[in-house]
Amino acid sequence: MSAVIAIASGKGGTGKTTVCACLSVALSRAGKRVLAVDCDFGLRNLDLALGLGETAVFDLADAINGICAPEDAVIVHPKHKTLHFICAPQDERKADFTPAAFATFVRELEMKYDYVLLDCPASLGHAFDCAVAAANEAILVTIPQSYALRDTEKIADVVTERGIERARLLVNMVRPRHINRGYSKNIDDIIDAVALPLLGVAPYDENISAYQNRRMDIMDDPSLVSERAFDNIARRIMGERVPILKFRNGRLR
């Protein structure tokens, strides 16, 4: 069975789309067959995060509603051939299918892939319901901030209630200096607050938005600690026993 992973958060802007794009590239680079699906109906941007631009002719609503065949909505990444992508409808009103119909659509495609990553919008709602209906795992992306943690606790409860077998936490935008000065929560406090197993941590890295704005891929640059962090997380998703990156001398290593 493929791993169908909903990437969700309570709060907006925690980095779900960035995480989805980086993990998709890292998994595909490791030889896995990956399908990345943009579930942010109406506000899609996973296409941009994957460096694909406006190349999609059909979106997932077209495929679910029978306007095109499911495979017609699948785009093969030009650089990473085992990474495929389906974009969200740009008009939210097109997403008038049920969560069950979305889950059936994903089930029909999933056997071709090792991993299906579903990039959710923030919080609860129709797109979240769809993603969670299709998923058997979840990655909850949070940032080390008390508001985000409270919302993550809530989403963690909902994901568990909905029968997701495996939910793990990814703490993004971690700034060691802020932790050392007590400006932000430390990782142990975050794990205690959310009570989910930790999948990994990624540092705050200003290169990420700079690279995204210049349509460059941070996963192409192994000199970046964020590239190594996402690669480390992808390895843990694949079941490799690699330790989570640790903070040493103010940096993740």
Ligand X SMILES: Nc1ncnc2c1ncn2[C@@H]1O[C@H](COP(=O)(O)OP(=O)(O)OP(=O)(O)O)[C@@H](O)[C@H]1O
- Which among 108, 120, 126 has a CA at the least distance from the CA of 9? 120
Q: CA-CA distance, 64 to 212, in Å (whole number)?
A: 30
Among residues 16 and 77, whose Cβ is nearest to Mg ion?
A: 16
# residues contacting ligand X (CB under 6 A): 20
Please return the burial class of 53, using the count of CB atoms within 10 Å of its CB with bins 0-12, 13-18 and 19+: exposed
**Using CB under 6 A as the criterion, what x/- string covers residues 178-217 for binding ligand X?**
------------------------x-xx--xx--x-----
- Which among 182, 189, 100, 96 has a CA at the least distance from the CA of 142? 189
Question: Is residue 10 part of the contact set for ligand X (CB under 6 A)?
Answer: no
**Using CB under 6 A, which of 2, 17, 152, 184 touches ligand X?**
17
Apex 218 CA angle, 225 and 53, nearest 5: 160
**Using CB under 6 A, which of 122, 130, 171, 199 touches ligand X?**
122
Q: Specify the 3-state DSSP secondary structure of 210.
A: helix
**Using CB under 6 A, which of 52, 109, 164, 173 touches ligand X?**
173
Which listed option, Mg ion, ligand X, none, makes contact with residue 18 (CB within 5 to 8 Å by class)?
Answer: ligand X
Contact residues: ligand X, CB under 6 A:
9, 12-18, 40, 121-122, 172-173, 202, 204-205, 208-209, 212, 226
